[in-house]
């Protein structure tokens, strides 16, 4: 189940690794590996296209030396590829920071569940369900009868049209959340916007560059389903990984399930445990199923439960409970998780 929110044969990460690897003999940096001619770096500047480890004075020497260098070249590429993969996995499986900042009013961690927080189109703040539900007071301690933003006191929009107009202003100010939302409007053709996958993708890229993790995930979906671009599963996975590294739990969940479907149980468990720490209850259900099927240990499931309880302790508040009890739209964690 999937949840939605050109080189010489060597990938870019490996090329970067090869460029930075030392040959172990810096004195030979300006010596032709074939004929032994010495010269400046400008004179001896032809390098092996794959490993970048040896230099030549000209293309003829490079071609003549190819068969002698082949074995060492392949070994350099292999080692660099392995090291690049290690570094990538270290980055991929590192616990990212929370996707959402703390509520600017109560200063408690914002819930991962969408109904547990609300984006304010007036000031661009994300406010938790408890503070959105709570009454707003004026400077004399009187309850403000008119509905206003709990953070900036701006009157709430009277229509979707007014809310969208405010959001456009947030877009002009470079607000990544508003830009991401604009991409969603183009993608789905909603709120008066004509469906345009190309424009949606442009907005997602812009929001991602400004730090919106969910925008990376949506770029991945565009490549997965061919929306505004050609279908490219490799690029889709690349953007899903960028989203997960940036803290997007939905992307992390999907990566975990992809590893699960490929019988890579260890990697699947790592992904889902990270998502659970981020408050993604669906991953807790997956780990429970893995334990039931014998793909995870009792200790793994116990750790998953403990981790999720820690997350619930960080987001719990009496005011949020009041809001959730009054309206389902203010529920801030999934019941029965």
pLDDT tens string 308-331: 999 999 999 999 999 999 999 999
Q: What pLDDT does 324 receive?
A: 95
Are the C-beta atoms of 187 and 218 separated by less than 8 Å?
yes
- The answer to whether 253 touches 284, Cβ cutoff 8 Å, is no
Q: What integer pLDDT is reported at residue 127 of this predicted model?
A: 97
- The predicted pLDDT at position 337 comes to 63
Tell me which residues of the chain have a pLDDT lower than 70: 1-29, 336-337
**Could you read off the pLDDT of 195-221 as tens digits, one per residue?**
999 999 999 999 999 999 999 999 999
Closest of 170, 157, 95 to residue 125, by C-alpha: 170
Q: How far apart are CA 264 and CA 86, in angstroms?
A: 16
pLDDT of amino acid 50? 86
Among 278, 226, 235, 255, residue whose Cα is nearest residue 113 = 278
The alpha carbon dihedral of 151, 152, 154, 157 has a sign of negative
Task: Read off the tokens for 83.
Answer: 């090291």
How much is the pLDDT for 7?
36
Looking at residue 253, its pLDDT comes to 96
- Which SS3 state, helix, strand or coil, does residue 42 take? coil
CA nearest neighbour of 308 among 259, 236, 249, 258: 249
Q: How far apart are alpha carbons 118 and 78 in whole angstroms? A: 49
State the alpha helices, DSSP H only, in the chain.
12-20, 59-92, 129-133, 160-172, 176-188, 197-209, 213-225, 233-245, 249-261, 265-277, 281-292, 298-315, 318-326
């Amino acid at each position: 189940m999937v949840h939605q929110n050109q080189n010489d044969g060597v990938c870019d990460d490996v090329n970067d690794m090869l460029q930075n690897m030392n040959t172990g003999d810096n004195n030979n940096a300006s010596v032709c590996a074939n004929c032994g001619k010495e010269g400046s770096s400008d004179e001896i500047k032809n390098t092996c296209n794959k490993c970048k480890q040896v230099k030549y004075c000209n293309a003829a020497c490079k071609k003549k030396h190819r068969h002698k260098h082949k074995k060492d070249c392949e070994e350099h590429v292999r080692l660099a590829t392995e090291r690049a993969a290690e570094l990538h996995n270290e980055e991929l499986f590192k616990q990212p920071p929370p996707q959402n900042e703390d509520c600017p009013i109560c200063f408690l961690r914002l819930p991962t569940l969408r109904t547990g927080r609300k984006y304010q189109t007036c000031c661009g703040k994300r406010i938790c369900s408890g503070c959105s539900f709570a009454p707003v007071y004026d400077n004399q301690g009187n309850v403000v009868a008119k509905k206003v933003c709990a953070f900036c006191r701006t009157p709430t929009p009277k229509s979707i049209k007014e809310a969208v107009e405010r959001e456009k202003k947030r877009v002009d100010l470079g607000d990544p959340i508003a830009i991401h939302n604009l991409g969603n409007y183009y993608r789905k053709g909603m709120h008066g916007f004509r469906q345009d996958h190309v424009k949606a993708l442009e907005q997602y890229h812009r929001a991602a560059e400004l730090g919106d993790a969910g925008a990376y995930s949506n770029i991945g979906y565009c490549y997965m389903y061919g929306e505004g671009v050609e279908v490219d599963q490799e690029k889709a996975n690349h953007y899903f990984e960028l989203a997960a590294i940036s803290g997007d739990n939905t992307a992390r969940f999907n990566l975990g399930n992809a590893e699960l479907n490929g019988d890579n149980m260890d990697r699947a468990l790592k992904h889902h445990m990270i998502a659970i720490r981020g408050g993604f209850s669906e991953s807790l259900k997956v780990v429970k199923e893995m334990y039931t099927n014998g793909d995870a240990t009792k200790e793994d499931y116990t750790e998953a439960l403990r981790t999720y309880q820690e997350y619930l302790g960080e987001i719990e508040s009496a005011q949020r409970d009041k809001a959730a009890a009054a309206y389902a739209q203010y529920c801030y964690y999934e019941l029965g998780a």
